[in-house]
Structure 1
């Protein structure tokens, strides 16, 4: 393995660990919020699950922190011309946030509103470790699709393994995933110090960096797809989890395995799909993949049994692997070398807003009109964004490198 390959592997391991820690909480989210003090009867009238509202706000709180701070981390890193110190600090602070949440049941006097504030802090710190490690991958040579494919497989593997293992940990103790997440983020803080910091040496003032991003409106194209794709992920993290438990009677451990049906192929195919997008361009994987991705979501909601739902989840995972690395690579294609932190920060901001939309829109639609309507809304949105973007892709593919031409 080359030196670049070794650095890529370490950074991918960091991305994996952050996502693995995050997904540990999802399969047992209803049990966890109860343990942290949520009232079982606080859901809105007509909700399909008594814990839907509490679970939704617990997940929303984390991504509120993401949204508030993802841009701050990127701008600060680009302005300082360094990544590593920010990743280390963010990882250790995120570990402290997870640990504080784990201690809440032993204290017993913190209202659920206080728990949500802790969750916001934990999210604000965790996004720094995640987003800036992604930026360090962007700083590497070796092909944008290849580097983003490595990031994608790390994300997918983290989610694929985090969900089932988190379900098992929840069976032991609902708070166990929080303890594991705190431990793993502490490891991240040490692991990232083993790779060189390749941030561009030249720096700009924060306002100049932000202005340069505004001068590249083409970045809104991958941002829009990142928003919708992450909305789907947020939808499955909350509504999908509760849907599988309600419709098929699955426990947290079995729910984790069902989520893994999506994340396993999503993870295993990220790297080759990233290389594929380097060879054939970004247009086909993003546009065609998104249309098929939306259709797959609809198929999951229409599945009549656990077996057919699992098969549909596998198909959605394959299609997600086609879309994700190409979309992230497109951000790298379009961003200047010394503005990648802000560019990836913007992409992760769009993604975090997408997660929020998945939680809030999915949870609200499911609560008032049922799970079937929620699947239609989310799957239909995925299809719609691809159809709307077709003319833009066709026009820009002949003008902008990275939309249809192979990447180095």
Structure 2
């Protein structure tokens, strides 16, 4: 009963973090212009629009990359996660609030805005990564726990996209205030959870970071996490600009299109996680990734908004098949006293993927074409599945959260 309550509370924290993050996505071009980015972003040049949003998104994810493992290692070393989640959530909320307040002045250097965005990301990743890690610590099946995390991730993004689009109608800084409130709520919510961090006997941070080398197989889900989050970064910026320039829609319409992906992605996370507990991680991760990549390419070839919405639904369904099984595989392959740093590493690779999706996607779309960008992203998802298939066959964890490495691998 306690695990069920903690699962709900921690899922709520994950939900709040993703909800806050995605609130900003439907109107990124409008937001960065209001915060002081180059006015050329509104000059009708698609490349300029992509460039204006690229650095704002990149600054946050640099914070994610540099601090995700540090938060995880610190929690493993201290033997506690709950207070770290609390303070990192409040820090992230303060970052969002600072951006909104500074944006009101209109003459703040954009470099300062990017610096605060970086600090906001460094704080926010602590709440996100450690809440998922605490879910990993719960009993009840790794697929179930990671399915709950995936449901929260999908739910936050599903509601954040359409609501964010509506909030932009009220003003460019309104989503920032909403994000600050969501992170503050996450900090309050985590106080109701129980800390299940395994005892680590005060191990040194460097020793914990180094100990992950003893279980190199955990880098397999890291690789899938990189590519999966690459697609998310791609849609956050390139997808947003593509939809607006191709279908002539505003932030509100873009939010609905993004929501067509995130709603099925959210609703199916938990049952798909349970499914991976029963049938193993191989089919959801490998087969799901191939279908996911093909579906992403299909979005580009959608001739109308209606068809694009259907294509985005299919991307969401297949993404829901892949995501919880991949996170559960991290749990399967990491020892209990290394889960914080393992999930931190997973989020580092994921954040690097998101950065690659933003920067690489914007570079290809602006320098070559949207078609080339969609093909590159979709085919990369297919390629990682085919390349990793032999390794997945070797590592596959069929059920009951069996840790193959503990059986002598």
Shorter chain as denominator, the TM-score bin is over 0.9
Note if contact 2:85-2:130 (Cα within 8 Å) is conserved in structure 1.
Answer: yes
- Could you tell me how far apart the structure 1 residues matched to 2:213 and 2:401 are? 24
> Aligned pair 1:39/2:33, yes or no?
no
Which among 144, 147, 166 is matched to residue 146 of structure 1? Answer: 144
Q: 1:68-87 maps to which residues of 2 (within 5 A)?
A: 68-87=66-85
Q: Hey, what does 2:401 align to over in structure 1?
A: 407
Once the 2 structures are TM-superposed, how far is the Cα of residue 113 of structure 1 from its aligned partner? Answer: 1.2
Q: Hey, what does 2:347 align to over in structure 1?
A: 348
Which among 179, 182, 186 is matched to residue 181 of structure 1? Answer: 179
Which among 94, 98, 101 is matched to residue 99 of structure 2? Answer: 101
Q: 1:240-255 maps to which residues of 2 (within 5 A)?
A: 240-255=239-254
> Aligned pair 1:370/2:369, yes or no?
yes
SS in 1 for 2:25: coil
Q: 1:298-337 maps to which residues of 2 (within 5 A)?
A: 298-337=297-336
Note if contact 1:47-1:366 (Cα within 8 Å) is conserved in structure 2.
Answer: no
Note if contact 1:79-1:205 (Cα within 8 Å) is conserved in structure 2.
Answer: yes
- Could you tell me how far apart the structure 2 residues matched to 1:21 and 1:65 are? 16
Q: Report the TM-score, using the length of structure 2 for normalisation.
A: 0.96
- Could you tell me how far apart the structure 2 residues matched to 1:3 and 1:210 are? 31
- Could you tell me how far apart the structure 1 residues matched to 2:93 and 2:277 are? 36
String of CA shifts for 1:346-371, please: whole Å, max 9, x gaps: 00000000100000110100110111
Uncovered stretches (5+) of structure 1, i.e. residues with no partner? none
Once the 2 structures are TM-superposed, how far is the Cα of residue 42 of structure 1 from its aligned partner? Answer: 6.2
String of CA shifts for 1:104-123, please: whole Å, max 9, x gaps: 23223311111111100000
Q: Hey, what does 2:161 align to over in structure 1?
A: 163
Q: Hey, what does 2:219 align to over in structure 1?
A: 220
String of CA shifts for 1:184-231, please: whole Å, max 9, x gaps: 111111110111111112232112211210111101100000000000
- Could you tell me how far apart the structure 2 residues matched to 1:236 and 1:202 are? 39
1:140–1:302 Cα change, 3 Å:
same
- Could you tell me how far apart the structure 2 residues matched to 1:60 and 1:220 are? 23
- Could you tell me how far apart the structure 2 residues matched to 1:94 and 1:49 are? 30
String of CA shifts for 1:126-163, please: whole Å, max 9, x gaps: 00010000011001000000000000010001000000
Query: Which stretch of structure 1 is more off in the superposition, 264-273 or 108-117?
Result: 108-117
Q: Number of residue pairs matched?
A: 401
SS in 2 for 1:263: helix
Q: Report the TM-score, using the length of structure 1 for normalisation.
A: 0.96
- Could you tell me how far apart the structure 1 residues matched to 2:7 and 2:104 are? 40
Could you say what the CA RMSD is over the residues aligned between the two structures, in angstroms? 1.4
SS in 2 for 1:275: helix
Note if contact 1:77-1:341 (Cα within 8 Å) is conserved in structure 2.
Answer: yes
Q: Hey, what does 1:236 align to over in structure 2?
A: 235
Once the 2 structures are TM-superposed, how far is the Cα of residue 288 of structure 1 from its aligned partner? Answer: 0.3
Note if contact 2:261-2:314 (Cα within 8 Å) is conserved in structure 1.
Answer: yes
Note if contact 1:40-1:51 (Cα within 8 Å) is conserved in structure 2.
Answer: no
Note if contact 1:43-1:54 (Cα within 8 Å) is conserved in structure 2.
Answer: no
Over 4 Å off, 4+ runs: none
Once the 2 structures are TM-superposed, how far is the Cα of residue 405 of structure 1 from its aligned partner? Answer: 4.2
1:169–1:137 Cα change, 3 Å:
same
- Could you tell me how far apart the structure 2 residues matched to 1:202 and 1:117 are? 34
